[in-house]
């Protein structure tokens, strides 16, 4: 009986290792899906805010900085390198936009629209 038990121990350890590896893959998939959803949500929220803040340069500047911070946080959590790089690049762009007056706000709104559209294409490719 003792010999029978010793044969099953390595098999049980092997099965447990395969199961753990499979769970890790599921977690990576969930992380990727969550990162994709989160990134798109951040950009959608920013687009909504920017269109309503063209008359409030300070609020727009803050919204851009807040979105950049959120994108950097999402990039830090993203396992997908394409999504990570795209999020970091957009965050850098948003951080570099300075809104001092209404004219800057209008220009920023246009730039955000163009840059976020390109970003969403990259997200769709990375998440598809």
Q: What is the DSSP string of 43-110?
A: HHHHHHHHHH-TT-HHHHHHHHHHHHHHHHHHHHH---HHHHHHHHHHHHHHHH----SHHHHHHHHH
**Amino acid 81: pLDDT:** 87
CA distance 17 to 26: 14
pTM of the model: 0.73
* Count of CB atoms situated within 10 Å of the CB of 122: 17
Residue 116 in contact with residue 43, Cβ under 8 Å? Answer: yes
Q: Which is higher by pLDDT, 39 or 25?
A: 39
**Amino acid 62: pLDDT:** 95
Q: Which is higher by pLDDT, 24 or 86?
A: 86
| Segments forming the whole domain that contains residue 39 | 2-127
Query: What is the mean predicted confidence (pLDDT) over 58-72?
Result: 94
**Amino acid 96: pLDDT:** 94
Number of domains in the chain: 1
Q: Is the pLDDT of residue 112 over 60?
A: yes
The CATH number covering residue 106 comes to 1.20.120
């Amino acid at each position: 009986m003792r010999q029978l038990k010793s044969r099953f121990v390595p098999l049980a350890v092997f099965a447990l290792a395969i199961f753990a590896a499979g769970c890790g893959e599921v977690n990576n998939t969930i992380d990727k899906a969550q990162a994709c959803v989160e990134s798109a949500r951040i950009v959608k929220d920013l687009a909504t805010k920017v269109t309503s803040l063209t008359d409030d340069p300070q609020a727009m500047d803050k919204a851009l900085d807040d979105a950049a911070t959120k994108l950097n946080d999402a990039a830090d959590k993203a396992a997908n390198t394409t999504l990570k790089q795209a999020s970091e690049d957009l965050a850098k762009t948003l951080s570099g936009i300075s809104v001092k007056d209404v004219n800057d706000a209008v220009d920023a709104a246009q730039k955000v629209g163009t840059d976020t559209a390109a970003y969403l294409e990259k997200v769709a490719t990375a998440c598809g």
